[in-house]
Amino acid sequence: MPSSWGKIFRISTFGESHGESVGVVVEGVPAGIPIRLEEIQKDLNRRRPGQSKLTTPRDESDTVRIVSGVFEGKTIGSPIALIVDNQNTISKDYENLRETFRPSHADYTYQAKYGFRAHVGGGRSSVRETIARVAAGAIARMILEDDLGIRTVAWVDTIGEISSDLTEEKYPRSREEVDGNEVRCPDSAAADRMRNLILKMKEAGDSVGGIIRCASYHLPPGLGDPVYDKLDGDLAKAILSIPACKGFEVGSGFAGTLLTGSNHNDEFYVEEGSGRVRTRTNRSGGLQGGISNGEALVIRAAFKPTSTIFKKQNTVNLNREETVLEAKGRHDPCVLPRAVPIVEAAVNLVLVDAYLYQRAMNPLWFKKWASLPAYYDDLKL
């Protein structure tokens, strides 16, 4: 079962939902990089279960430990290992799933592929596996922010048929703006309606899906490669590997197919003062030819309704007998609020890998764009 990702900033994740621990080994981080444990914990706290009435009541602190690769707060060039222990597993709730497959869940496909599976908590198919990605993503985030001033912010854009009213000019610029409510939608009016819908689904024993939008600000041009290592291709793989994610868009996405070329193209101009090449619109979502163009990277990720619900459902068992399933356990009625930091982590993992690769391949590029953080500070963005 492949559990590794990345070219230079390479992560290998391990652990199951109801196992002893979940963790990640991060390789490729240069020596001397400051690692702030409290920043990693902050990101994990945003992902943890039990944080509001909208999420699963599973009570986990998700306290992270760094067991290698860091000395006196800085990396030493060796693999960094981070571990989070599971503390609140109730495996007996899953006993009725030992031989029965949940509709639209990974139960059947795992059994068909491997011939054996961990039925408790879903094993590796559980969203609990994403602890590892968020922990590694926090390290990626610190490197990107410290070196280039890159800031990635995701938020809930839609829940069911309820959409936020955020135009590009109103996109949030900080995680604090997003965390202003438990839905993690910066449009407070829409957030109230979303919250009510999620609670309605929870009371009915059902679930609901939605879309997360994510913007990465202050990207320099030049990240990503044409053809097989396009930045949007790597982002798509990273985002679509998140449990329950079923759709991915960059920029205008599918809506761009409704426009003509003359209406869709992002015209270039030279920014006064900085001399930088900019675009007047950003329908490309910050990527052209698989390479960043210096504008904000904007993506969307679609998440299906949670598969495990408490309504009766028709299914089959290991003996290929048709049966009726009544699921038990603790599950999110909507994954979107907790998926926000997971999407951010996935994007940051892709960006830091592309950044370290570009820096190694072309040191002059790094020398040119390393001054960007000071430039953006001057603009107070």
Angle between helices 37-47 and 336-361 (to 10 degrees): 140
pTM of the model: 0.92
Spatial distance between the Cα atoms of 44 and 341, rounded to a whole number of angstroms: 8
Q: Is the pLDDT of residue 117 over 90?
A: no
Count of CA atoms in the C-beta half-sphere (13 A) of 45: 8
CA–CA gap between residue 49 and residue 57 (Å, rounded): 7
> What is the CA 72 to chain-centroid distance, rounded?
29
For residue 371, what pLDDT is reported?
59
Superfamily of domain covering 4-251+286-376: Chorismate synthase AroC (3.60.150.10)
Q: CA-to-CA distance for 344 and 349, rounded, in angstroms?
A: 9
Return the pLDDT at 219: 94
Residue 304 backbone dihedrals phi, psi, to 5 degrees = -75, 165
Question: Could you tell me which of 83, 82, 80, 84 has the C-alpha nearest to residue 27?
Answer: 80
Summarize pLDDT for 269-325 with one digit per residue, the tens.
999 988 889 999 999 999 999 999 999 999 999 999 998 888 899 999 999 999 998
Q: Determine the Cα angle at 207 with ends 348 and 160, to 5°.
A: 70
Residue list, annotated binding site: 47, 53, 124-126, 289, 304-308, 330
Q: Mind listing the pLDDT tens digit for each residue in 315-362?
A: 999 999 999 988 777 678 899 999 999 999 999 999 999 999 999 888
pLDDT at res. 379: 43
φ, ψ (nearest 5 deg) of residue 270: -100, 125
Per-domain residue ranges for the chain? 4-251+286-376
What is residue 59's three-state secondary structure?
Answer: coil
Q: What is the gyration radius of the CA atoms in the chain, in angstroms?
A: 21
List residues forming the annotated binding site for NADP(+): 47, 53
Q: 163: alpha, beta or left, given left = phi > 0 and alpha = psi -120 to 50?
A: beta
Q: Which residue has the higher pLDDT, 362 or 12?
A: 12
Q: Residues marked as binding for FMN?
A: 124-126, 289, 304-308, 330
Cβ 126 vs Cβ 117: under 8 Å: no
Q: Where do runs of H (alpha helix) occur along the chain?
A: 37-47, 107-114, 130-148, 175-178, 188-203, 231-240, 261-264, 336-361, 363-369, 372-379
DSSP lists the bridge partners of residue 214 as 154, 299
